[in-house]
Amino acid sequence: MRVLVLMLLALLWIPPAMAQVQEPSPGRFSGAETVESLPDWFKTSFLELADDLEEAGAADRHVMLYFHQDGCPYCARLVRENFHNDTLVALLKAKFDSIDINIWGDRELTDPAGRIHTEKTYAAAMMVQFTPTLLFLDPAGEVVLRANGYPSIPKLYAQLRYVSGRHYRDLSFPAYVEQLALEAEAADGPSADRETAATGTLNAEAFFAGPPFDLTRSARQPAARYLAVFFEAPGCDSCDALHRTLLQEPGIREVLGQMQVIQLDARSDTPVVTPEGRSLGARAWHAGLGLTELPAMVLFDYDGTEIIRKDAFFKAFHFESILRYAQEGAFRNEPNFQRYLEARVARLRALGEDVDIWK
| Any domain includes 43 | no
- Whether residues 166 and 55 share a domain: the answer is yes
Three-state SS at 115: coil
pLDDT at 219: 96
**Total domains in the fold of the chain:** 2
- Burial code of 290-323, b = ≥16 C-beta within 10 A, e = fewer? ebbbbbbbbbbbbebeebbbbbbbbbbbbbbbbb
| Any domain includes 61 | yes
State pLDDT tens for residues 4-37. Answer: 444 444 444 555 554 455 677 999 999 999 988 9
- Whether residues 160 and 222 share a domain: the answer is no
Q: How many CB atoms lie within 10 A of CB 177?
A: 18
Nearest-angstrom CA–CA distance, 238 and 232: 9
Interstrand relation of 96-102 and 108-110 (parallel, antiparallel or unpaired): unpaired
| Any domain includes 201 | no
Q: Dihedrals φ, ψ of 276, to 5°?
A: -85, 5
State pLDDT tens for residues 46-94. Answer: 999 999 999 999 999 999 999 999 999 999 999 999 999 999 999 999 9
- Output the 3-class SS for 208-257: ECCCCEECCCCCCCCCCCCEEEEEECCCCHHHHHHHHCHHHCHHHHHHHC
111 pLDDT tier (thresholds 50, 70, 90):
very high
| Any domain includes 39 | no
| Any domain includes 32 | no
- Whether residues 166 and 245 share a domain: the answer is no
Query: Over pLDDT 90: what percentage of the chain?
Result: 84
Q: Dihedrals φ, ψ of 69, to 5°?
A: -155, 155
- Whether residues 158 and 254 share a domain: the answer is no
* E-state strands within the chain: 29-30, 62-68, 96-102, 108-110, 116-118, 133-137, 143-148, 213-214, 227-232, 260-265, 271-273, 279-281, 296-300, 306-310, 355-356
Q: Using the 3D structure, point to which of 110, 145, 170 is the last residue of a domain.
A: 170
Cα–Cα distances in angstroms (integers) from residue 319 to residues 75, 233, 284, 330, in the given order: 16, 20, 25, 15
Name the residue among 121, 103, 122, 124 with its Cα closest to residue 112: 122
| Any domain includes 306 | yes
181 pLDDT tier (thresholds 50, 70, 90):
confident
Three-state SS at 308: strand
- Whether residues 219 and 159 share a domain: the answer is no
pLDDT at 261: 98
| Any domain includes 12 | no
pLDDT at 293: 87
Q: What is the mean pLDDT of the chain?
A: 92
- CB-based contact 267:150 (threshold 8 Å): no
Spatial neighbors of 158 by CB under 8 A, at least 6 apart, are: 173, 176, 177, 180
Q: How many CB atoms lie within 10 A of CB 82?
A: 20
| Any domain includes 226 | yes
- Whether residues 236 and 320 share a domain: the answer is yes
CATH number for the domain that contains residue 136: 3.40.30.10
Spatial neighbors of 329 by CB under 8 A, at least 6 apart, are: none
Determine the residue type at 292: T
Domain hosting residue 86, numbered range? 49-170
Q: Using the 3D structure, point to which of 170, 205, 233 is the last residue of a domain.
A: 170
